Amino acid sequence: QKEVEQDPGPLSVPEGAIVSLNCTYSNSAFQYFMWYRQYSRKGPELLMYTYSSGNKEDGRFTAQVDKSSKYISLFIRDSQPSDSATYLCAMSVIQGAQKLVFGQGTRLTINP
C-alpha cells in the first residue's frame, strides 16, 4: 500500500465548475501538506501548503486537511481552462530533512 494515494483521473469538467481533488495517506506522522500544479512537460510549482487541519483559502483555491481521517482535498472554484494541469499532493513529517512523499497526480481538464 502506498503511503499517499491519489486518484490519477483523468478528470474532465466544464468551465466554471467546482473541482474537488483528493488524497488519502496512511502515515500519521505527516504534518505538512502541499499541493503542486504541473503543466504538461513542465516542472511542478507549489500552489498551496498547510500545516494544520481545517481550511486554507487562496483566491479560487481552497486546501482542506482532515488529520483524523488522513484525508486532504483541494477545491477549485470557478474553474478556468488555464487550470488544466496535473495536480499533485505532497506531504512530509515536520522533523529532520525534508523528504516529500507525492501522490500519483490527478490530470485535470477544464473544457471551455
Binding site for another protein (CB under 8 A): 4, 6, 8, 32, 41-46, 49, 51, 88, 90, 92-100, 102-105
Least Cβ distance, residue 37 to another protein (angstroms): 11
Give whichever of 18 and 100 is closer to another protein, judged by the CB atom.
100
Give whichever of 18 and 46 is closer to another protein, judged by the CB atom.
46
Q: What is the number of other CB atoms lying within 10 angstroms of the CB of residue 110?
A: 20
Q: Could you give the CA distance from residue 20 to residue 55 in angstroms, rounded to a whole number? A: 13
**SS3 (DSSP) at 27:** coil
Least Cβ distance, residue 71 to another protein (angstroms): 17
The cell for 50 is 498547510
**SS3 (DSSP) at 81:** helix
> Does the bond joining 10 to the residue before it have cis omega, within 30 degrees of 0?
yes
Give whichever of 32 and 61 is closer to another protein, judged by the CB atom.
32
Least Cβ distance, residue 38 to another protein (angstroms): 8
Give whichever of 14 and 99 is closer to another protein, judged by the CB atom.
99
